[in-house]
Amino acid sequence: MRILAIDDEPIFCDLLKTRLDQLGYTNVDTAFTGQDALDIAASRTRPVECFIVDIRMMPMDGIELVRRLRALPHHQATPIVMLSALTDKASIDAAFMAGANDYITKPLEMVELKIRLEMARNILAERAQARLLHEHVLKQEAILFPSADFGGEIILEDVPGAVSLMSMENFLLKQGNIRLRQSSAIGFQPAAGRAVFP
């Protein structure tokens, strides 16, 4: 899991990176400003799979950063863990309202950090599984219910009363331009083996 940790204190970023390494998370990048984080997040060549964001940063705080991350189409569902010394209800509520998935308070506790990142990893795994299931369902539907190609004539053999494409075109031409302009759709309804034109 590729993690991007954002905090305006380089010393804390180094400490966090060391802790994450101890927990087995070795693919960790850091950013010291919100704008740097957005620049890294915008890259699709090495997608970020989890953000750890401090709230108190300048000039862009963590709450605003989370809002902007959520505005990026490919990060609308990426796990975001807020990490802050702020423990008041207003800060926590603001973080979740902006789009954070979780909230950890400083100082860092290894057990809590481990649990929160495991939850983020589970979110990623569930989304990947849901994506695979969706693709599988689409493939099965394509096999079971192939879509008709309406680009050309569809020949209905051995169907009494079926109308050919040429007959249909002639029918529409006979309706005249004025009548066709007043129509927005033409419906077809099989009735007792015959095509009926409303």
Q: pLDDT of 137-157, one tens digit each?
A: 888 888 887 765 555 555 555
Q: How far apart are CA 100 and CA 79, in angstroms?
A: 7
Average pLDDT, the chain: 83
CB neighbours of 65 closer than 8 A, spacing ≥ 6?
Answer: 6, 34, 37, 38, 53, 57
The two beta strands, 102-105 and 80-84, are: parallel
- Look at residue 61 in the predicted model and tell me its pLDDT: 95
- The C-alpha atoms of residue 10 and residue 31 are separated, in whole angstroms, by 9
In a domain, 107, yes or no: yes
Total structural domains in the chain?
A: 1
Q: How much is the pLDDT for 196? A: 45
Sign of CA dihedral 25, 27, 32, 37: negative
H or E, element range at 51: strand 50-54
171/175 Cα distance (integer angstroms) = 7
Q: Is 191 within the bounds of a domain?
A: no
Give dist(CA 3, CA 15) in Å, integer. 14
Per-residue model confidence (pLDDT) at position 144: 80
For residue 107, the enclosing domain spans 3-141
In a domain, 121, yes or no: yes
- Kindly state the tokens that stand for 183: 């129509």
Inside any domain, residue 113: yes
In a domain, residue 96? The reply is yes
Residue 131 lies in a domain: yes
In a domain, 87, yes or no: yes
DSSP state letter for 73: G
The string of pLDDT tens digits covering residues 89-140 is: 999 999 999 999 999 998 889 999 999 999 999 988 888 898 899 898 888 8
Residue 100 contacts residue 123 (beta carbons within 8 Å)? no
Q: What does the alpha-carbon distance between residue 190 and residue 148 come to, in Å, rounded to a whole number?
A: 17
Is residue 147 assigned to a domain?
A: no
Q: What pTM, to 2 d.p., does this model score? A: 0.68
pLDDT recorded at residue 142:
80
Handedness of CA 7, 13, 16, 17 (dihedral sign): positive
- pLDDT tens-digit series, residues 152-188: 555 555 566 666 666 666 666 666 655 555 555 455 5
Q: What is the CATH number of the domain that holds 131?
A: 3.40.50.2300
Q: What is the per-residue pLDDT across 33-82, written as a single tens digit (0 to 9) for each? A: 999 999 999 987 888 999 999 999 989 999 999 999 999 988 998 999 99
Residue 127 has a pLDDT of 85
